[in-house]
């Protein structure tokens, strides 16, 4: 997995490089501290994943990501930030970031998140998800979960893991048509609009348990 680190804090860059050097699957192709250098770096090395600080001095990491996407740069973008503000998270999700993690995350959590993201899934920090769920009272009522059948609850857990209908079909040994039907029922019973909301809900309720290999 080839990554670049875009952060204006030397200690963060050094810490990430040290962490990644211990993981045989990670290769740091370069670093940048501002938007201009970051765009040049992304164009030049074409990484699999770009780890971007939310705030690059006086510049915005989200604006950098938007500009990179506009220029046709193809890679997965992961925001690594100290901000747990709901508005920052919502803006990041709106522009399509693949991950949003807090800098207080444990090293193994970061590595697990990057592994998931490299496989095409999304990863949002549980701490941020908790804040989002608390602000959305329509998703707080645990009684809604009790309305789900055992199979629908399994579907919800799989949605929380970011799995596609095809992946859920293979995991639960049911047809994709049946998965689609169950997904619609989960949305209806919980008052959810889409798969992203379902993933947020499942993770915030603690339904999803990840096993991190050492």
CATH of the domain at 36: 3.40.50.2300
Q: Band of the pLDDT at 80, cuts 50, 70, 90? A: very high
Buried b (16+ CB within 10 A) or exposed e, 118-131: beebbbbbbebbee
- Are residue 174 and residue 92 in the same domain, yes or no? no
Structural domain for 154, as ranges: 136-204
pLDDT band at 132 (very low <50, low <70, confident <90, very high): low
Within a domain: residue 195?
yes
* Mean residue pLDDT across the chain: 87
Confidence of residue 206 (pLDDT cuts 50, 70, 90): confident
Give CA–CA dist 94/104, Å, rounded: 23
**Report field, pTM of the whole predicted structure over 0.85:** no
Residue count of the chain, please give it: 214
- What total of structural domains would you count in the chain? 2
């Amino acid at each position: 997995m080839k990554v670049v680190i875009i952060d204006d804090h030397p200690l963060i860059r050094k810490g990430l490089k040290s962490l990644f050097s211990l993981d045989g699957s990670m290769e740091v192709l370069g670093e940048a501290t501002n938007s201009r250098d970051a765009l040049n770096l992304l164009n030049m090395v074409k990484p699999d994943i770009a780890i971007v600080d939310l705030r690059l001095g006086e510049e915005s990491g989200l604006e950098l990501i938007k500009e990179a996407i506009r220029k046709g740069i193809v890679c997965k973008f992961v925001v690594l930030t100290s901000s747990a503000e709901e508005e920052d998270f919502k803006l990041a999700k709106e522009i399509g970031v693949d991950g949003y993690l807090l800098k207080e995350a444990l090293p193994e959590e970061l590595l697990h998140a990057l592994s998931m993201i490299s496989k095409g899934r999304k990863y949002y920090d549980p701490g941020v998800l908790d804040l989002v769920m608390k602000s959305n009272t329509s998703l707080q009522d645990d009684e809604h979960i009790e309305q789900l059948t055992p199979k629908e609850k399994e579907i919800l857990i799989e949605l929380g893991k970011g799995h596609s209908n095809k992946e859920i079909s293979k995991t639960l040994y049911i047809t994709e048509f049946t998965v689609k039907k169950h997904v619609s029922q989960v949305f209806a019973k919980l008052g959810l609009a889409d798969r992203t909301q379902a993933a947020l809900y499942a993770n915030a309720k603690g339904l999803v348990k990840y096993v991190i290999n050492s």
